Amino acid sequence: MAIFKDSERPEISHVSPAAAIPGGEFQIRGKNFARTDRPRVMFGDVTAPVIIGSNSLVIARVPDGASVGRMVVECGLQSSGAWQCGIGVQIADSLHPVANPAVDALANIYTTFSGSRGQKTPVSVYRIDASYDVKPLVTDMMNATGLALDREGMLYVSSRHDGIVYQVTPSGNMSVYVEGMGVATGIAFDAEENLYVGDRSGTVFKISRQRQIYVFCTLEPSIAAYHLAFGADSCLYVTGPTTSSFDCVYRVSPNGEAEVFYRGLGRPQGIAFDADGNLYVAASLGGRKGVVRIDPNRRADHFLSGPNIVGLAFTPSKAMVVASNNAIYRVDAGVKGLLLK
């Protein structure tokens, strides 16, 4: 029977980022990963593909079916101690989100099957309850795009096809809330419940509770969509991928003056704040795709790894809901989302 010294066993010292969904990658640093053999990475009983394997660095891709965040690196007959990381669990598929999901106070999740421009889909908006049962909510809307909830739990949905924002009751009844919004994409409410709507061609509209329409600000047109979120500073934050590979997050003051808050993201899309003032962006940073976290001092780090992520939201139980372009995942991130007062 072979006897191994503790000093020869694989040892994990750091893992980045903190979480991932299937298809995402973890960078694992430590020692003795390839001392006698090619390293193996296990998530529970599931083996992960190893993209890079050296003695001090392993990059492993999270495989489909991984749901346990207990990561171990093995080399030959030796294994490291377990490292706990966040693994996203798929809770719905066969969808087509193009922006953030929305989460209400009862932890119901709302998401879309948006379809290509001009495509009429059988279901436009789905509701996923706390037991992860997926049920149709809206069935007669073209290109459902942005989602937002008001304080009463009423859902608002933009359509980039007809430039309308619809109001949807909990039972799924739909009515026109405001129209004439151009290529309407991202939507968000401020603390006074004014609604803001991004027109992909370059305008952000402000709609009062009396449904008066104002031009709030004008930004560079986006090749895909605007995505909106309010911070605790009462400023509106906006992303919208352009033809640049070095895109930015804009911050717009309450009087409509825009500035660059952060520059250096690849294809930034859905955004959300936590209660500590950190901004989370579906984007790539330094070529690494997933969710980027930007702190109030504008320092960015890679928070979650994963492909094709278009949006995110936080649940009352401090989980992160991540939307890819065809599925919804839940990640137990332990992050409390920002609630506007």
Q: Which pLDDT value is given to residue 149?
A: 97
Q: For residue 66, what are the contacts with CB-CB under 8 A and spacing of at least 6? A: 22, 43, 44, 46, 48, 87
Residue showing tokens 């332990």: 334
Q: Which pLDDT value is given to residue 8?
A: 85
**Domain coordinates in residue numbering, the chain:** 9-87, 89-331
Looking at residue 118, what DSSP letter applies? T
Q: Which pLDDT value is given to residue 29?
A: 97
Q: Which pLDDT value is given to residue 73?
A: 97
The model carries a pTM of: 0.95
Angstrom distance (rounded) from CA 119 to CA 122: 10
Which CATH architecture best describes the domain 89-331?
6 Propeller (2.120)
Q: Which of 94, 136, 145 is nearest to 117 (CA)?
A: 145
pLDDT by 10-residue block (mean), the chain, 341 residues: 64 97 97 91 94 95 90 94 95 97 96 91 96 95 96 96 96 96 96 96 95 96 93 96 90 97 96 98 96 98 98 97 98 92 63
Angstrom distance (rounded) from CA 312 to CA 283: 11
Q: Which pLDDT value is given to residue 3?
A: 47
The CATH fold assigned to 9-87 is: Immunoglobulin-like (2.60.40)
